[in-house]
Structure 1
Amino acid sequence: MRHSLPLAPQFYVTAPQPCPYLPGRMERKLFTALQGDSASKLNDSLSKQGFRRSQNVLYRPSCSDCAACLSARIRIEDFKPSRSQSRTKKRNSGLTRRVASPWASEEQYDLFRRYLDARHADGGMADMDVFEFAAMIEETPIRSRVIEYVDQSTDQLVAVCLTDMLDDGLSMVYSFYDPDYASKSLGTWMILDHIDIARETGLPYVYLGYWVPGSDKMGYKAQFSAVEVYRKGHWEDLGDASRYESDMHPLSTDPIAEQVANISLPDTRGT
C-alpha cells in the first residue's frame, strides 16, 4: 500500500507487526527514503514533525488503533538536571568523550553484542551480525557522528551513541553501553552529555526518539525536565505523563492519506 504527495518524496506504510513496547498491540510505520542532494533538508524538516532516521529511511509510527508513541526532545535552554541526574554526572566523571565520523569498529560491535545479549536478547536487533551493524552506523546520507565514551582508568570503551546533526539539535539515533556498567546509569549519562554538547554548540534541542506512555522501556525519558513531545501536529510540554494514556485508542490516529497530506516538505529548489 502506497500513498504519495504530488511531489517527491513518496511515503509508504509497513505491514502490521507485534509492537515491541506495548503487549497485545500491533505497530505500523509510515516511511520514506532519505537520499539525494536534499537528504539533509528532508531529515531536518521531518525530524521536526516526529520522524526518526534509520540508515537511509525516515519513519514515524502510524498504527491503525494506537497513537501512544510520541517523538520526544529536550529543550536545552530550560533543562535543569534533577539531583539524581547530577549524581549520575559525578559518577561518570572518569569517562572521556571521543567524537568520530560514522565508521564501525570491531570494538564497537563487541560492545553492541554484549549490550543486546544482556538487555535485549529477544528484541528485533538480537540477530544483527557485524555487517548489519556496520550498515546501521555507516549508511547515512546526512551529517552523523559516532560518539564514544571511554573509561580513563582502563582505556576501555564503555558506551557509544550514533548521533545525527540537525539544523536545530542533536538526534540520538541509537545508543548502547557495557552492561557491566549498568549501575552507572550510562543511558542517562549519554543524554546528559548530549545536552552539554548541544549547549556547547548553540543547538536548542536534543531529540530522544520515541516516548511511549505505558512502556517501562521508555519511561526514563519522562524523567528529564523541559521535555517536549510531538502530538497532533505540534510540539508541547510533556507535563503530567498520565494524561497521555487517552491516546491509546482507535480514534487517536488519522487516516494515512490525511497524515501524508499534512506533512510539510522542505523547499529543495536550488539544492
Structure 2
Amino acid sequence: MILDAHEAYEQIMESLAGEIKRNDAQISLLAVAIGNNPAQASYIKSKSKIAASLGIGFELKQFDESVSRDEVKGFILEKQKESRICGIIFEKPYPEGLSSVVDELPAELDVDGAGSKNLGLIVKGRPLMVPATVQSALYILDHYGIETRGKKAVVVGRSESVGLPLALMLLSRSRNATVTVCHTATPELGEITKGAEILFVAAGKPGLIREEMVSEGAVVVDIGINFVEKENKRVIVGDVDFEGVVTKASAITPVPGGVGLLTPLFLMKNLLMAWEIRRQA
C-alpha cells in the first residue's frame, strides 16, 4: 500500500481554511532566513504559497551570512511586540551560533518546534509546538489506520528537529511504541532496521535504506527530502530506495507526495494554535 498524502492534504486544508474563516483570525508568520540557499528558497516559496491560500500573512526577513547574533536577536525581540506576528520560524540551515536565539523564543511563538523549550515540553509529556514534520509522519499513519501502540518502531535519524522529537512522541503514552533510535554511524544499521515493524527514516541521505534492510511486511515512513541530479534533471528523492523497498513493505510513504506534502500544513496548524494562545492571553 502506498501511503499517499494527497487526500489528507485536501482534508487538512479544508479544515484549516474553515477554522480561520470562522474565527476571523488575523494571523501572520515571520520567516527568518540567513544567506542564500536554493533549497531553502524552495521551502520558503511553498510555505508562502500555502499561507496566502489560507489568508495567512507571510513575512520574510533575509539576512546576509555575515549577520551577527545580536543583530538577529534584536530584530526578533522587536518583532515579538507586533500583535499580528503569531509565529516565528528560522529557515534551515542557519548558522550554529543562532541556535541560542531560537532557544530563547517563547515556546508559543516557536511554531516550528525548533527550540529547546518545545523539545523539553515533549520530554515532559506536555507537548505544545510539535515539529510539523513529526506531526505529518504520525498523521499519515493515523489517516490510514496504522496503529503504533505496542509496535516495534525504529527511527533512523537523531536530529533535534525530527528524529529526537519523533522518537519521544512515539514513546508517549498516547502512542506506546517501543522505540529504537539509530543513525548513519550506527554499526550494522540494516540488522536494526530489519527488526522494525514501523520504520521511520529521517537521516538526510538519499537511498540509505535498501530492500535487504527492511523486514517483510514492515511499514516504512520516508521523511527524507533530498535534491539529486537524475537524467540531467534535479529531482526529489527520499532516504529510502523506494523501488527496492515498495515490494517488501506492507505500506510505504512516497517522496514526493508523502510526509513532506503535509508538513507545511502542520506548521500552519501550529500557527493557528499560537494565535489562539495569544488571543486568550
Q: TM-score, normalised by structure 2?
A: 0.31
Higher helix share: 2
Q: Which has the higher contact order (CA 8 A, sep 6+)?
A: 1
Q: TM-score, normalised by structure 1?
A: 0.32
